[in-house]
Amino acid sequence: MQAGKNATGGAKEAAANVAATAKCSAEKSKATVDEKMEQVKAHDPAQKEMATKKKEDRIRQADREEQEARARNAAAKGGTGAMGGMGHTTGNNPTSALPGHGTGQPGGRGNEGVVGSHPTGTNTAGTGRTTAHDPRVDGYGTGGART
């Protein structure tokens, strides 16, 4: 059951990180807009420079808060941040329905991730039909009589 907890924890961490990044981006945008408004209202260069410094401070603070949130999210998951969870493996339970996925073992025949194909019109193992067979051609699926 540990594998399920790790998958859920990873998804929660990722969602929380996305939220932290969105909040950071919003704060940076607000800081930029506020700076522009203050510069429009300012009459001397010192006031304009102060507005720019205030914006830069707000951006640095937003970045710090984002990094702190990411660290909290990783700690809440029980992991080490970018390295993921520690000490939890899926064992012999694959995490995918595809052969070999999640087990570290080869996927059987063929190359993993490569989709095999059959040339159009080739006979499929002596069935008398081809891969290009359309069941409606001989009346199947149309309600018509077989010819």
The token pair at 117 is 């194909």
Instruction: Find out whether 81 and 71 touch, Cβ atoms under 8 Å.
Output: yes
Mean pLDDT of 2-28: 83
Instruction: Find out whether 25 and 19 touch, Cβ atoms under 8 Å.
Output: no
| Mean pLDDT of the chain, nearest integer | 73
Return the domain boundaries, the chain: 7-76
Residue 4 or residue 51, greater confidence? 51
Q: What pLDDT score was predicted for residue 104?
A: 54
Q: What pLDDT score was predicted for residue 54?
A: 97
Residue 72 or residue 127, greater confidence? 72
Q: What pLDDT score was predicted for residue 22?
A: 96
- What pLDDT digit, counting tens, does each position of 93-116 carry? 445 555 555 555 555 555 555 555
